[in-house]
Amino acid sequence: MFLLAPKTPAVVLIFAAVMGVTFLSTVPPTVGLVAKMFGTANMAMLFGIVMLAHQIGGFLGAFLGGYVFQATGSYDWVWYIDIVLAAGAALVNLPIREARLPRVRRQWLEAVNMTTIDPRTRLLLEAPIGSTLLRLAAPNVLVMVAQAAVGLIETYFVGKLGTDALAGMALVFPVVMLMQMTSAGAMGGGIASSIARALGAGRRQDADALVLHAMVIALGFGLAFSLALLLGGRWLYAQMGGSGASLEAALSYSHWVFAGAVLVWLFNSLAAVIRGTGNMAVPAKVTVVGVIALVPLSPLLIFGWGPVPALGIAGGAIALLLYYLVGTLALAAYLWSSNSLLKPSLTHVKLRWLLFRDILRIGLIGSISTVATNLSIGVATSLAGGFGPAAIAGLWHGLAARILAGADGVWPGCAAGGHGRHLHWRRPA
């Protein structure tokens, strides 16, 4: 249908939205099924293999698409080949006859003293799967859209400063996204799953202690990002094609953002801790409120107004750090309040390797796909850098749109995985 439709901006946007829904919406049921059939301990590894295959396929698609365009002057044959491959994949799957998975029986629930389970956990264990997935996924979709909007807001206002400023931001973008995706997704998944398993096994003291362990991990990775980019940023961005004014703009933005890398890690780690208890709403609310505040704050610090001086591209980075600082304080305030299911402590907890391992064994494996994704973005940026700052800036616009297009499918997968974790909470060994 897209091939036959007129190639207008509206048609392209509608096509992109439909692709996002039909393609990326396969992620949530896939993650949920993997968790249920193979266990949550294997979920990160199996999904990492799938993502690696996805990256290889993405490379081959881009490379062969460019080759076909060079040979024929058109992408039409790429679409035809894609249609044939999709039909072939469907035919290969037709003979598969899957046995129905047995539903979780109530016997194992009845063996548990249900009075010891808090209402939120009981709802996760007994409520219908479909409605529970939607309830868990909706706040996560909202969070993903809001976080994608942060990048788009920054892009819009920094773009007003000129091509060099936008190109400088594009050079920093892959590393910033690596930090955000690792802290929120890969390591965040490890934190959330470890909290959920501890609560489900009745290990309340371990669940409380895991909060401090998650914060220590966040501090360690945050400091590592800060040191790496503050010391090696100039070399990295130069290798990616930065030079002259665009390189200086990249360094200005990078120095500010990565000086506060610990805030990004703490924010996403505390949000993961809260999600591990089954509470998706609080991280979503904090994120959305922060994005709303960022809309006026970012241009205020970039362009200045009244007594507030114009800070240029550094103002965008400072606004972003203020967003993470206030968000971290809000999440910490909730965790240490009477409304929190967990009762964390920073002074009466002994650090244990077993609890660190519980988080890292999932978080580090989950980081493989994150590194692969952002490495490919870094390579693409480096290739575009050979054509000058305007090409890098143009690439950034496309990447920002791609991230927003992916928002509708990625975060429901987190909810599906989370629900799979909670389904296994109280099942006897």
pLDDT digits (tens, 9 = 90+) for 188-199: 888 988 998 888
Round to whole Å and give the CA distance between 332 and 344: 10
Three-state DSSP at 429 gives: coil
What is residue 200's predicted lDDT score, i.e. its pLDDT?
Answer: 75
32/242: higher pLDDT:
242
Is the pLDDT confidence value at 335 over 60? yes
Give per-residue pLDDT as tens, 360-389. 988 888 788 788 777 877 887 787 877 777
Round to whole Å and give the CA distance between 290 and 74: 44
What is residue 410's predicted lDDT score, i.e. its pLDDT?
Answer: 42
Is the pLDDT confidence value at 400 over 60? no
% of the chain at pLDDT higher than 90: 27
User: What is the greatest pairwise CA distance in the chain?
Assistant: 70
pTM surpassing 0.85?
no
Report the range of poorest mean pLDDT among 57-66, 144-153, 205-214, 381-390: 144-153
Round to whole Å and give the CA distance between 193 and 273: 9
Report the range of poorest mean pLDDT among 285-289, 308-312, 422-426: 422-426
Report the range of poorest mean pLDDT among 75-84, 210-219, 365-374: 365-374
Cβ atoms of 310 and 304 within 8 Å: the answer is: yes
Report the range of poorest mean pLDDT among 99-103, 289-293, 297-301: 99-103
**The two structure tokens encoding residue 375:** 């490495």
Instruction: Give the dihedral sign, CA 18/21/22/23.
Output: positive
Backbone torsions φ then ψ of 105, nearest 5 degrees: -85, 155
**pLDDT band at residue 291 using 50, 70 and 90 as cut-offs:** confident
Cβ atoms of 388 and 246 within 8 Å: the answer is: no
Cβ atoms of 247 and 289 within 8 Å: the answer is: no
